[in-house]
Amino acid sequence: MILERSNMFNIDTINNDLSRVIGKEHAEELKSLMRYYRLCQSAVNEIGTKLENLDGEYQSEYNHNPIHHMEQRMKAVSSLFNKAKKKHIPKTVDAIENNIFDIGGIRVITNYINDVYTIKENLLSQDDVTLIKSKDYIKNPKSSGYRSVHLVVSVPVFLSTGPVETPVEIQIRTVGMDMWASLEHKLRYKTNVEAEKVEHFENKLIEDANAIFEIESNMQEIYRDLSEPGVFKNEE
């Protein structure tokens, strides 16, 4: 399993970005936001460790790795405050803590569809993981064809002053769903293509999303028949 990290916590970068947005004159608010970014980074690390342990257990018990790879990331300061502005959220730590839960995030790419639910259910069964929000876009795909399971959970981050419950956003999807999502994101946000062509590709991608799901379902059935009993512990 490969763990990739992008936009991870860098004190100087975060400090400079926050200073530009809220101003150095707001020293206490700046310090509090830095502290909260650090908490979110630690929470992401906690979830990453839990998932690595879970994947290792399945490899040992069932000769199967449910996780293909994981990607950890921290939301850029510019993205955070753009989101706050869009949602009319004040630029304060309290407002951000109470309304924005995806500063720290981890994307889990699984090998098969049922692995998505194995990861979800095993993670949520842990005593120190609290579910805040859950959306299942595999059972209920978006109109675009997008499929993924989204979770927001909180985990305790242990500081010298005691534990602090901190949120992490988790996206869980298969290799095929992730490949599709990357291309769809590129089409929507990263290209300067005429509207007619974008519409054509959007319709094509809906068909492709359904085809990918069918192919992955068929491959999952083959893999189940070739594998040890219990390889997909949580059938959906």
pLDDT digits (tens, 9 = 90+) for 171-204: 999 999 999 999 998 888 766 778 888 888 999 9
pLDDT in tens, 15-43: 676 666 666 656 577 778 889 999 999 99
The two counts, helices (H) then strands (E), for the chain are 7, 6
Q: Give the Cα-Cα-Cα angle 38, 41, 43 (nearest 5 degrees).
A: 110
Residue 177's Cβ-count burial label (10 Å; 0-12, 13-18, 19+) is buried
pLDDT in tens, 200-216: 899 999 999 999 999 99
- CATH fold of 2-226 reads Beta Polymerase; domain 2 (3.30.460)
pLDDT at 236 over 60: no
> Of 169, 202, 214, 236, which residue is the catalytic one?
169
Place of tokens 């991870």: 8
Question: What distance in Å separates the CA atoms of residue 94 and residue 85, rounded to the nearest whole number?
Answer: 15
pLDDT in tens, 129-148: 999 999 999 999 999 999 99
The answer to whether the Cα torsion of 180, 185, 190, 196 is positive or negative is positive
Question: What distance in Å separates the CA atoms of residue 41 and residue 156, rounded to the nearest whole number?
Answer: 12
Domain definitions of the chain by residue range: 2-226
Say whether 169 is catalytic.
yes
In 185-232, the DSSP E strands lie at: none
Q: Within 10 Å of residue 201's Cβ, how many Cβ atoms? A: 17
pLDDT in tens, 110-125: 999 999 999 999 999 9
Contact 122, 66 (CB under 8 A): no
Contact 30, 19 (CB under 8 A): yes
Q: What is the pLDDT of residue 179?
A: 97
pLDDT in tens, 55-82: 999 999 888 999 999 999 999 888 898 9
The distance of Cα 133 from the centroid of its chain, to the nearest Å, equals 13
- What does pTM read for this prediction? 0.87
Question: What distance in Å separates the CA atoms of residue 42 and residue 45, rounded to the nearest whole number?
Answer: 5
- What number of residues does the chain have? 236
SS3 90: coil
